[in-house]
Amino acid sequence: MSIRTRFAPSPTGLLHVGNARAALFCFMFAKKHDGQFVLRLDDTDLERSTQAFADAIQADLDWLGLKWDETARQSDRFERYDAVFETLVAQGHVYACYETPEELERKRKRQLARGKPPVYDRAGLALSSDEKAALEAEGRSAHWRFKLSGNQVSWRDLVRGEQKIDTASVSDPVIRRADGSWLYTLPSVVDDLDMNISHVIRGEDHVTNTAAQVELIAALGGEVPEFAHFSLMLGADGSGLSKRVGSLALADLRDSGLEPISLNAHIARLGTADPVVPAHTMQKIIDGFDMARLGRAPARFDPEDVTRLNARILHETPYAVVAERLVEIGAPAQVEFWEAMRGNIEKFADMQDIVALINGPITPVVETDDAEYLAQARALLPDAPLDTESWSDWTGRLKDETGRNGRALFMPLRMALTGQSHGPEMQHLLYHIGYDEVVARLEAAGKH
């Protein structure tokens, strides 16, 4: 079977990490099986869908490295949905209803008060042609429901195992609003059939929807795809991501300086018993993905975990991968520089701070009782050019000359040359700062 998956966001807002997880699962499953990954923009909500959000979605997927094979827009397919709808009406699979939202809410409350499930009573099916005409004369427009069979629908879910939904226990789903606009069910099913989607991979909040979709597929004479419903993702505090999009939008995570491979590697393992491990290529993440490893418990996402993984990945990243980026920020184009400095960064942007430390200017920090010591340090500085052995040579001379050791020996030099009490190893900083700049900083420190 040819594997085809789809990621189907609505361009009514920005993607967050929960959306990224859905896209990543669809992408990885397709690519692991030499299949195709389709991006479908579910933009039937013409008032809220915008091109700006559509562009942002594609930019986010590009950043993540999730290259899609095809693009589709539901707004281009309204005629197709109309044709299918008319066929379903003619076959008796769809019926008109005239209740207002307020009337439906009152019905639900009465059913709950009687201890009954709030299932639609199919009052629309009992209306005669004359009754429908009278309601329309009042100015009411029909919304349309798909008539469920009342039987049990079952399928073997790739994540949840055997699933059974009694369609008598759920309401016939509204597929078209009174204003003629579409809800999710019919366009999604028609698209999945027309686009030969073999596997529908999505969050567990769609499980009940699946039963209705399976029956709609049967009504259309289509082949039911495989389904996989994974657990939802929560924030680190257990709150739903939809309430925290402002902090966990992909655009914000990208702007924070995270490497996309770090985010992919992290969320690919969330919800499994497998440890999150550094990865340097998408292929490694794809090879390690197994839908059967996903658990049923909600997965919790903590940005700090991704930051730590990001650091681990950068610490292992070879020079060739970042060479061009180092040149762009004015860093020394040397393998030795990257290997010496990468262990000091959490995000690549931190390398800019190291470059600034090397290039200056810096503000030296000098304790009053260190002024004489720094003058001695200037006198005992090894000759130019400095190399990675110069630091140990220099501090060895100072130790012999002054009797200082430990922090009293090293820290005044670091503070005078960098203005900071921490950072990369001084043997590497000294070499990259260079003899002339070291002399200038020592002399500047002597004036403080």
- pLDDT tens, position by position, 307-320: 999 999 999 999 99
**Averaged pLDDT of the chain:** 95
Indicate which CATH number applies to the domain containing 103: 3.90.800.10
Instruction: For residue 132, tell me if it sits in a domain.
Output: yes
Same domain, 309 and 324: no
Same domain, 90 and 67: no
Residue 18 near residue 60 (C-beta atoms within 8 A): no
* 379 to 3, 120, 372, 386, 443: CA distances (angstroms): 72, 90, 11, 15, 11
Same domain, 84 and 170: yes
Q: Which helix (H) or strand (E) holds 189?
A: helix 185-194
Same domain, 57 and 129: no
Question: Once rounded to an integer, what is the mean pLDDT over residues 188-198?
Answer: 98
Tell me the C-alpha distance between 175 and 177, whole Å.
7
Domain that holds residue 406: 368-446
Same domain, 336 and 272: no
Tell me the C-alpha distance between 263 and 244, whole Å.
17
Instruction: For residue 401, tell me if it sits in a domain.
Output: yes
Residue 16 near residue 241 (C-beta atoms within 8 A): yes
pLDDT digits (tens, 9 = 90+) for 199-209: 999 999 999 99
Position 82 scores a pLDDT of 98
Same domain, 38 and 52: yes
Position 239 scores a pLDDT of 77
Report whether pLDDT(368) > 90. no
Q: How confident is the model at residue 245 (pLDDT cuts 50, 70, 90)?
A: very low
Same domain, 93 and 172: yes
pTM of the model: 0.91
Instruction: For the chain, give the percent of residues with pLDDT over 90.
Output: 94
Instruction: For residue 186, tell me if it sits in a domain.
Output: no
Same domain, 304 and 243: yes
Same domain, 334 and 382: no
Amino acid (one-letter) located at 370: D
Indicate which CATH number applies to the domain containing 24: 3.40.50.620
Tokens in use for 273? 């018993």
Tell me the C-alpha distance between 2 and 25, whole Å.
17
- Total structural domains within the chain: 4
Same domain, 295 and 350: no
Indicate which CATH number applies to the domain containing 429: 1.10.10.350
Instruction: For residue 338, tell me if it sits in a domain.
Output: yes
* DSSP assignments along 215-252, one per residue: HHHHHTTPPPPEEEEEPPEEETTS-BGGGGHHHHBHHH
Amino acid (one-letter) located at 235: G
Position 246 scores a pLDDT of 53
Same domain, 282 and 355: no
Instruction: For residue 125, tell me if it sits in a domain.
Output: yes
pLDDT digits (tens, 9 = 90+) for 271-297: 999 999 999 999 999 999 999 999 999
Instruction: For residue 198, tell me if it sits in a domain.
Output: no
Greatest Cα-to-Cα distance within the chain, rounded to the nearest angstrom: 109
Same domain, 260 and 311: yes
Tell me the C-alpha distance between 170 and 209, whole Å.
10
Instruction: For residue 140, tell me if it sits in a domain.
Output: yes
Domain end: 303, 333, 359, which one?
359
Q: How confident is the model at residue 446 (pLDDT cuts 50, 70, 90)?
A: confident
Instruction: For residue 181, tell me if it sits in a domain.
Output: no
